[in-house]
Structure formats: structure tokens, C-alpha cells
Amino acid sequence: MDKSRVTTYLSLNQVAVNDLFWSPFMERVRTKVLPYQWKALNDKVPGAEPSYCIRNFKLAAELTHPELDYGVPRDIGFGGMVFQDSDLAKWIEAAAYSLAWHPDRDLEQTLDETIDIICNAQQEDGYLNTCYIINGLEKRFTNLKDHHELYCMGHFIEAAAAYYEAAGKRKLLDAMIRYVDCVDAHIGAEEEKLHGYPGHEIAEMALIRLYAITRDEKHLKLAKYFIDQRGQPPLYFEEETRRNGNAFYWQDSYIKYQYYQAGKPVREQTAAEGHAVRAAYLYSGMADAARLTGDQELLGVCKALYANITKKQMYITGAIGQSAYGEAFSYDYDLPNDTVYAETCAAIALAFFARRMASIEPRAEYTDVVEKTLFNSIISGMALDGESFFYVNPLEALPQASLKDRRMGHVKIERQKWFGCACCPPNLARIIASLGAYVHSANADAVYTHLYLGSEARFSLAGGNLKIKIETRYPWEGQVDISLVPERKTAFTYGLRIPSWCGSFSLKLNGSDAAYTLRDGYALLNREWQEGDKLRLSLDMPVNLMETNPHVRDNQGKAALMRGPLVYCLEEKDNGTELFKLHTGTPHEFKVNYEKELLEGVCVISFTGKREKDWQDDALYRSRAEKEYEDRELKFIPYYAWANRGGGEMRVWINR
Ligand SMILES: [Zn+2]
């Protein structure tokens, strides 16, 4: 690992985002999603499935401290999924991020009161999971494989760290440190402990984040244990299943323990397998561990897994997890557009993994994926009004198939208000609310700008304080203006990502051609910077007709439209039904129009394509005859914005 290439992302407190595209999303999260989710967590959304989340914590607190009375009947039982606690943790994390860029005393008070309830549910020895506190503590740590205790702990560590960083308050952080002590007392390498690890990963990266705050070696050690114990023989999950004597859902499946990425030691894994969210969370934790410890072998594993995902198993939208069976990866080049799973959380998890890889080594192949997921398969998960959500993000939707074909029963054509398994909405909230921390990273003598968000960042380099201001209409236009304002003349390397979708670009420094070198997709300027230095990056942003590697059977003979980082799609609303009859023809000219009133403001692409004509008779088959086409004006909207004008057909890949 080239240590001089390792950088750290600027924190949310250092970057103020003011961006044409993203600020409305962030504001939507702050003003609509967070309040809406708070209502959902409190079971106050009419017509939505109850979450039971807050109720579980209040009940657990009452059971722990009988003198407390939150008005929850003590015999009511635990509600929701075994991992219900994590929804509250994700909400707290997202709310904390929003406080970092928008102070809000009422929200902070709600957080403090909620954290009081959470801490009141904590056991004497630090244990904190409402499912077991309510259902019986004697069973805790007996089903690490499927009962998500360590997953919920991981999410709460993330929440606690976020709130500590945003508001400087450590009550939840201290509670989590105690919970980790409790887990550490029961699970680990020592003879008398359980030699287990999380069934659903996230604790790995969460513990490393905790270690960054506490510098307590115990936290790093536990994270490394979870990573390296995974899949070691004798297989812990197999022993656990035997002890419990229960049926194991994946026992007879081809996925088996690889559903949990535990079929073999992680250092022997070369292809992404199993549940996609779990997998990418694990890889994120592995990347964190490799970065922190300089573990070259582990980094090599991360690189191989990253290459397998992004070169063989990732949709053009950045979505991952092709198979509804197991919400999982399937096999190389299997990328069906209609039966796809593509969970919103999985795209978020991939963004986490890619962002971490980019901090080890600034390479556009990593940051391109962060950008691709963010602009496409992540935000497609949320309606533009912030009140309904997709769990599954298809690249092709057909209303009657969703209704009547079991293979596509999971594919919805309209976003849902809330789900019983509500993992995606709060996950969306936490990534969008923390976008400021994706823009720049730096080390002592280099600064890299990864994403072009209108923003102002202030931070310190070895040579003194530095301010970087970005102004842009990205992704609708490719011009990015950057002002660098160092406190005093300072020499450092400044790197700007040149996105892979961009065929040609120009870079001007103070009005003249800038002298730069290109390395791994970053334009590097190594010079002495001074106040008043201005860069103008102009990225050509043509409409690109994209093809897929011929190994991918589902996209044979098809093309997709991209402009900049955005993938486009056809919707029934603009193009009528039976979108599968449409062809690109040979487009001579793409018209790109910014429509301010449409879908909160989007660039629309249109051109004259073809539509196959219907036959004169009602035959189902006929012998070979010339196909007949008519010209048809095709109108494409950005993929993320589909299904915001009612349900209907949608298609990303169309016939060539
Ligand atoms: Zn999800």
C-alpha cells in the first residue's frame, strides 16, 4: 500500500453543501424524510405497516427499570423484525448528519430524549437489543447467524459516532462502548468465548469508526476478529445451527453459508456472493481494516472483490444484487433487468465500499462508482416528495408482470409508503444527509476532489488552512468552477477526478491551460497555490449510447442512454405502452432540454427513433417477413426520477 496515496475524507462539519442538484435532496431528507420516518418509527403513519421501533425501546426500558412508565403495556411483546432496532439507529445517524449542516434545537432535543429511552433499556452489563431484552435474555448470542444482534449494534455504533461528531454529545457513544465491552466479553478468540461473528455485517466498519474516536485497541481487535474469523473451519454458523437444532433456511441452497459470505475464509474469496447488502458492508469493513493496518493481503482481496462486482455483476445504474432469491449476487454477467432485485440498500453499500477504496488510493474507477450509485440506483429509491420508497430498483418494469408473474412479484411499479422491513428509507436518509463527506479527501500534502457538488470546504493542510469553493450546475452541465483559497502560499498536489463517462475535457487555471498530469483518472496539479487561484474544469457531456459486454445475455442488441453520470429511461407516460417495441434507429441528433417544471427540474433527452408496427391480422406467429417500423419521437428522463407521475411501464435498455 502506497501510504502517500492514502487520504481521509473531510468531515461533514468541514463541508457546507449548496448544490443545485443535491441540496433539494438533502433538504427533502431534513424537512420531509426525517419527520416522516420519525412518525413511522412511532407507528403514526396512517395506512403504513407499524414499525414498533420506539415502542420496543420503551417496553425494553420499562422491563429494565420497573419504576419507569412510558405508557407501553408490559405484556404487549416485541413488535417487528428481529433487526427492528436498526431502523431507529439509522434514523438517529441521519438526523445527526443533518444537524451537522443544519442546527435544529427541536430535532436535537428529540434525539436526546430518544437516546435517554435507549439508554434506559441498556442492561447492567451493557447489553442492548430490544428483541432479546423483551423476549428473554437467556437466549442472547445464541443465533448470531440470523438474529441480527451484532448488526443492530453496528448500526447503533454508527449512530452514536455520528451524533458525537455532529453535536459533541457522548451519552449514546458511551452506551455503545459499554455494549461493545459486553459483546467483547462473550465473543472472541479466547477459549471460553463464542467464536462467532455477525450474520449480517456492518459491525466491522462500525467498530473501526469507533476505534477512530476512542483509539481503544479493543475496538479494532474485535473488528479484525469478526473479519478474519468469518468462514474459518470449524464453521461457527454450522455449529450454532447444530446447537439450536433448528432448520437452516439456506442449508440445501447452492448459496448455503456464502449467503452470509461465511462459506470460506474471507481472504480466500474472489467473487462477490450471497446477500448483496451484507457482502458490500463486509467489504467496506475489510477496506477500512486494510487501510488502517496496511494489510496488503486484505487490500488485495478487496480489490479482487471490487473488480468482480464492478466488471461482472453491477448494473449500469450502479445497482447490485441481481437475484431476488437471497437478495443476492448470482453469477458473472447475469444482469436481468426485469426480475432484478437491486435493493436500494445494496447500492448504498456499494457506494460505501467504493468510497473506502478511493480513500486508500484515489482512482476514478472507485469514485465513478460512488457517483454512479448516487445519481442513479440510490436516489431512485426515494420519491421526489420524500414520502415513498423503492426497496427494489428494476431497470425494466411492466405493471401486469409485477401483478401476475411471481418472478417479478417483488418489483413494484410505484414506491411504497413504508415497509415491514424498512431498511432502505432510513439508509437513504443517512447517505444523502452525509453527502458533504463524499466531496474531498486529503492528506498532509495532497487534496482530492471526488464529487462535483456546489460547496464550500474549510480545512487544514500541513501548510495552513485552506478553503475550496465549488460552483457548478452539474450534472445538467459539465462546467465546474473551483476557487482555492489557502491562508498563505502553499505547495500541495490538487487532484480532480475526470469521470470515466467523459471523453474530453479542458482544465484552465486562472484563464490559461493548466499544467497537469493524469493519474488513475485524476488530473493532478502540483504547484504552489495562492489566494485567488481559480480552476475551470469543463467536462464534455454528450449523450452516450451505451452497450453492454456481449457476455450479458439480457442486453444483447440493446442500448441505454447516459448523459454525464445519469442513466436515462423511457416511461410509459411519455412514450405510450409496450416500450419493448421501441428502437433507437440511427439517431442523428439528440435534443437535450432542461425542463424546469418537470420532475423538480431535469434534463430530458429526445430523438427520433423507431417503433415496430402492429400486424394487420391477429396472428401470434408468422413466417419470416420484413419487419415494419414507423418513426417515433422518443423521450427519455433520468432513471432516478421514474415512477413519480404514477405507475406504468419503464425501460432503461431499448432495442438498437
Ligand atoms: Zn434495504
Which residue's entry shows cell 432542461? Answer: 594
Please give the Cα distance from 51 to 40 (Å, whole number): 6
247 burial (CB, 10 Å; 0-12 / 13-18 / 19+) is exposed
Tens-place pLDDT, residues 217-244: 999 999 999 999 999 999 999 999 999 9
Least confident of 161-170, 217-226, 397-406, 505-514: 397-406
Residue-level pLDDT at 643: 97
Residue-level pLDDT at 625: 77
Distance in Å, CA 310 to ligand 1 centroid: 20
Distance in Å, CA 333 to ligand 1 centroid: 23
Residue-level pLDDT at 614: 94
How would you classify the pairing of strands 446-449 and 490-497? parallel
Please report, in angstroms and rounded to a whole number, the separation of the first and last CA atoms in the chain.
44
* Nearest C-alpha neighbor of 144 from the set 240, 30, 227: 240
Helices then strands, each counted (H, E), the chain: 18, 23
What is the pLDDT averaged over residues 512-533?
97
Tens-place pLDDT, residues 21-40: 999 999 999 999 999 999 99
Angle (CA) 311 317 318, round 5°? 50
- pLDDT classification of 421: cutoffs 50, 70, 90: low
Residue-level pLDDT at 47: 81
**Left (φ > 0), alpha (ψ -120 to 50) or beta: where does 386 sit?**
left
Q: Which of 423, 424, 502, 569 is catalytic?
A: 423
| Averaged confidence pLDDT in the chain | 95
Tens-place pLDDT, residues 237-265: 999 999 998 777 787 788 889 999 999 99
Q: Would the pLDDT of 46 be above 90? A: no
Q: pTM of this prediction?
A: 0.97
Residue 381 DSSP SS3: helix
Please give the Cα distance from 300 to 357 (Å, whole number): 11
The rounded percent of the chain whose pLDDT value lies above 90 is 91
Please give the Cα distance from 270 to 302 (Å, whole number): 9
Residue-level pLDDT at 253: 83
Q: Would the pLDDT of 420 be above 70? A: no
Residue-level pLDDT at 419: 62
Q: Which of 93, 158, 327, 572 is catalytic?
A: 327
Residue-level pLDDT at 569: 98
Q: Is 165 a catalytic residue?
A: no
Distance in Å, CA 235 to ligand 1 centroid: 27
Distance in Å, CA 37 to ligand 1 centroid: 14
Distance in Å, CA 390 to ligand 1 centroid: 9
Tens-place pLDDT, residues 573-598: 999 999 999 999 888 899 999 999 99
Residue-level pLDDT at 316: 98
Residues of the chain with CATH 2.60.40.1180: 446-539
Distance in Å, CA 93 to ligand 1 centroid: 16
Q: Would the pLDDT of 615 be above 80? A: yes
Distance in Å, CA 442 to ligand 1 centroid: 31
- pLDDT classification of 112: cutoffs 50, 70, 90: very high
Angle (CA) 303 153 30, round 5°? 85
Angle, helices 53-64 vs 105-120, to 10°: value is: 50
Residue-level pLDDT at 250: 81
Which residue's entry shows cell 472483490? Answer: 305
Tens-place pLDDT, residues 477-486: 999 999 999 9
Q: Determine the topology of domain 446-539 in CATH.
A: Immunoglobulin-like (2.60.40)
Distance in Å, CA 41 to ligand 1 centroid: 16
Distance in Å, CA 344 to ligand 1 centroid: 6
Q: Would the pLDDT of 330 be above 90? A: yes
Q: Is 327 a catalytic residue?
A: yes
Tens-place pLDDT, residues 158-169: 999 999 999 999
User: What residue type is 211 in one-letter code?
Assistant: Y
